Structure 1
Amino acid sequence: MRRFSSGQIFLGAFITLLGLFLLLDALFPGVIRGSVFWPLAIIFLGLWFLWRALVVHPGEERRGHIFGDVRLGRKGPWDLTKDLDIQSGIGSVKIDLSQAQIPEGEHRVRAESWIGDVDVWVPQDLAYSATGRVVVGSLRMLERRDDGVLLERTVTSANYDVAARRVRIEASLIIGDVRIRLA
């Protein structure tokens, strides 16, 4: 069974709601420009943040900010013993896995943001499978860069399936740049 990320669910729900509001505006002029649209949009965003805060899976560490930057690993070693899930509303997410102490096994690092940048540095000796998604912006994975709308790409190291230590990286962004690079 395919597991959808919360970013995909949020984006699908947001686009569906936007379409419904536009349809309502066409059928009943003035409703959207009146006092209905923005309160409902704010309620929807609030419920989404609450839902994300309540759903934590065993063995997962969660970090997030509505505004501001999230940085891991630029100031020295840190432990990646649990799966890592980072959410950011507006701001940058920077994860340096070259400074991470990673035990054997498969670990998941997921970074989602609405507006900003997501940067992940992967050490040369670490097996990885990295997926990047951008609704509007640029996607740079290793040496390949694409700019545009609705971008998605996955790159996997040659030894990923047999490596003792490996990391599955998922980086999603609505507006901005996703960059996954070798350190």
Structure 2
Amino acid sequence: MKVYSGCQFFIALLFILGGVVLLLVNLGLISMEIDEAIHFLYPFVLTIIGLKLLFDLLATKGKHGNWFFGTFLTLIGVMLAADRLGYWEFSFREIVNYWPLLFVYIGLRILMGKRPIIKVTAKSSKNGFVTDVSMKENNWQVEDLDEWNGVADYDFDYTKAFIPDRDTKIKLAGWVGDIKILIPEDVEFSLIASSKVGDVKIGHYSRDGIMKNANYKTDGYDEATRKLTFNIDFQVLDLRIDRV
């Protein structure tokens, strides 16, 4: 009997699970569109990926895998799957409430005699672990921004800001990001966002799920001199942009 590696086993499970669900959709045995099927499916994929990380950790005695992200993805995947199956309500936006697990992770690594692993990009002008930023005061000055934060909660209201007549670049990155942005209708903007797990909403445009990238640009962005350029990169991201 052929023995499969843990990686092969979990990859096979991903393909089997995805194939079965999509086949049932195509045969009409499950009443949902393909995008609905993917929305239903990805929590189970998250769970399998999380279990794989934990399996690798145990099988290799800590040389491979990651218990923090394995536990995090498994927990989130199970709760989202339970929501899809109707056992209880759990929305993607609630994921950011679990950022305190990062403190547990760092504390346990210290107890085990290991230094916490925190990666910071070399070009960041400001770096931190937990950040809560609210820019809502009248006539606040908009400037270029380049930050990396482990856990970040941003609330930007550009309708109350002084936006200069140029291309202002806002670069935000980290592990977990909860970002809310309000932009005036007469200000053009573009967005490049990436996440391992994400929920991005810009008006009627939305992207959610795993390994999601969002690229968005307003109609007048290329010609505008006064505009905002967002580049956002988080492992887990909840982003909402509204224009008023």
TM-score bin (small chain): 0.5 to 0.7
SS of residue in 2 equivalent to 1:94: strand
* CA pair 117-168 structure 1, distance change in 2 beyond 3 A: same
In the comparison of the two structures, how many residue pairs are matched? 146
- Comparing both structures, which one devotes a greater share of its residues to helix? 2
The question of 1:30 aligning with 2:61 is answered yes
From 132, 138, 141, the counterpart of 1:69? 132
Counterpart Cα distance in 1 of 2:128 and 2:154: 10
Query: RMSD of aligned C-alpha atoms?
Result: 3.1
Counterpart Cα distance in 2 of 1:129 and 1:146: 15
Counterpart Cα distance in 1 of 2:173 and 2:220: 26
The question of 1:174 aligning with 2:205 is answered no
The question of 1:93 aligning with 2:154 is answered yes
Aligned equivalent of 2:208: 147
Q: Which has the higher contact order (CA 8 A, sep 6+)?
A: 1
2:207/2:214 contact within 8 Å kept: no
The Cα of 1:25 is off from its aligned counterpart by 7.0
Counterpart Cα distance in 1 of 2:170 and 2:235: 18
2:193/2:213 contact within 8 Å kept: yes
Aligned equivalent of 1:162: 223
- Unaligned stretches of 5+ in structure 1? 1-18, 57-61
* CA pair 172-142 structure 1, distance change in 2 beyond 3 A: farther
SS of residue in 2 equivalent to 1:98: helix
TM-score between the two structures when normalised by the length of structure 1: 0.65
The Cα of 1:119 is off from its aligned counterpart by 1.6
Task: Specify the code of the residue in structure 1 equivalent to 2:231.
Answer: E
* CA pair 86-76 structure 1, distance change in 2 beyond 3 A: farther
Task: Specify the code of the residue in structure 2 equivalent to 1:79.
Answer: Q
Task: Specify the code of the residue in structure 2 equivalent to 1:166.
Answer: K
Higher Rg of the two aligned structures: 2
The Cα of 1:126 is off from its aligned counterpart by 0.6
1:139/1:145 contact within 8 Å kept: yes
Alignment of 1:56-135 (within 5 A): 62-72=125-135, 74-80=136-142, 82-135=143-196
- Unaligned stretches of 5+ in structure 2? 1-52, 69-108
SS of residue in 1 equivalent to 2:171: strand
- Comparing both structures, which one devotes a greater share of its residues to strand? 1
Counterpart Cα distance in 1 of 2:129 and 2:58: 30
